[in-house]
Amino acid sequence: MPAANLPTTVTPPAVPDPASQLDVAGVLLGLLRESTTEPRPDDQLEALTLAVAADLPVLLWGEPGIGKTAALTQLAAALDLPLTTVIASVHEPADFAGLPVVGDDPAHQGVPMAPPDWAVRLVRAGKGLLFLDELSTAPPAVQAALLRLVLERRIGALQLPPGVRIVAAANPRASAADGWELSPPLANRFVHLQWVHDHDVVVRGLGGTWPRASLPRLAPERLADAVVFARRAVCGLLAARPSLVHRLPDSETRRGGPWPSPRSWEMTLCLIAFATAAGSSRDVLSLLVRGTVGDGPGLELLASLDRMDLPDPESLLADPASAVLPERGDLRQAVLDGVVAAVRRKPDRARWDAAWALLVRAAETGAPDLLVVPATTLASLRREGWDVPASIERLAGVVSLSARADRAAARVASGGPAGSRTGGNGAR
């Protein structure tokens, strides 16, 4: 190219102003962080809010990145509580027990234990959500220092106000960074909730709409009855199963989770009362109960709660025509067994006839196979002079099935083939 055609000056490309570009990036980040909330059924979120309303410490267990911290941030915003996050594993025991401060005359005034700044801020605010994150990475000495904070709400010489709620989060030891098992005394102070992700919630949340966390609506007219119901449920189970009052698990791993003790049963009673007053579902109550006393005792308590709502056998015998039987098969079976047991305790011709009427009603409204055992037992209670009621003919097929099953079981027990004939015209 000829030299005359070359440009005499070269204009460098425009360089964006770094400050203005950071401002634009900030706007973009703000747009990405914008989201709304909507009312949406969420059992684990409802269980969390119930435990927070009951002023019980909650421990969320979940894999890293599952959304535990995000859920707590959203909960604090929804409840208008200032959120204070404390990473337990990066603190020393003295940070929770209080730092000694020598005064003018320690021999007369003693040495006060000064609380950390975040505790002072909570006291000044009068309310707040204290979030103890990464609890499973805290060494045993720090866990020991947390005992008084979690149970008594004291840190150093400072008493946290009643408006402060405590929620912790932890990863399972297998996925925690240098994790430890929780000590039994600390674990027994929490309501343990397994935090898992819901596919639909995550997809809709990433689209900008998350479930709304709100405190449960407690019905004022239910409060007294809820307390009576909760006490009757827990005391009834422990009276029948005294070994469940205190049962420290054998393995170290299970000791770091929920297990039954007088303390955790008291927490369970409180949660049942709150769930009853709020009209919560059985699934939510199951999360709370099993997260407080463990799966085994919790499931026993839930089963006893079902039986508490069963109709009284004496009321059913008094008016079998208007009896309303449970729809669930196991509960219906329990009711019918209770009716037959009531007749056995107080045998009477009228009660015997009424029990047969109830069995007929059960056959008309449910699975007939549930009647095999009650019908066979009731038939064995017949006394001399008691005429067979006409209604029993409608159960003849059930009783016949029971008889054939008994004969087949007897043949199996004696070593014969279950399907062999008895005589020339015997039943199979």
Q: Model confidence over 293-320: pLDDT tens digits?
A: 999 999 999 988 888 778 888 888 988 8
Q: For residues 138 and 153, what is the distance between their CA atoms, to the nearest angstrom?
A: 19
* Range 370-386 average pLDDT: 84
Backbone angles phi, psi at 131, to 5 degrees: -110, 110
Please tell me the pTM assigned to this model.
0.73
Q: Which of the four pLDDT bands, split at 50, 70 and 90, describes residue 405?
A: very low
Does the structure show a pLDDT above 60 at 257?
Answer: yes
What whole-number distance in Å separates Cα of residue 195 and Cα of residue 47? 11
**CATH number corresponding to 40-99+113-211:** 3.40.50.300
Helix 262-278 with 282-293: angle, nearest 10 deg? 170
CATH 3.40.50.300 residue spans of the chain = 40-99+113-211
Residue 279 token pair: 């009209």
Question: What residues have CB less than 8 Å from 323, skipping those under 6 apart?
Answer: 311, 316, 358, 361
pLDDT in tens, 157-187: 889 999 999 999 988 866 655 667 889 999 9
pLDDT > 50? residue 1: no
Grouping H, G, I as helix, E, B as strand and the rest as coil, residue 37 is: strand
Contact 301, 289 (CB under 8 A): yes
Residue 256 per-residue DSSP state: T
pLDDT, one tens digit per residue, over 210-234 is 888 788 899 999 999 999 999 999 9
Instruction: Please compute, for residue 318, the number of CA atoms within 13 A of its CA located in the half-sphere on the CB side.
Output: 5
Residue 188 vs residue 91, higher pLDDT: 188
> Rounded distance, CA 403 to CA 409, Å?
10
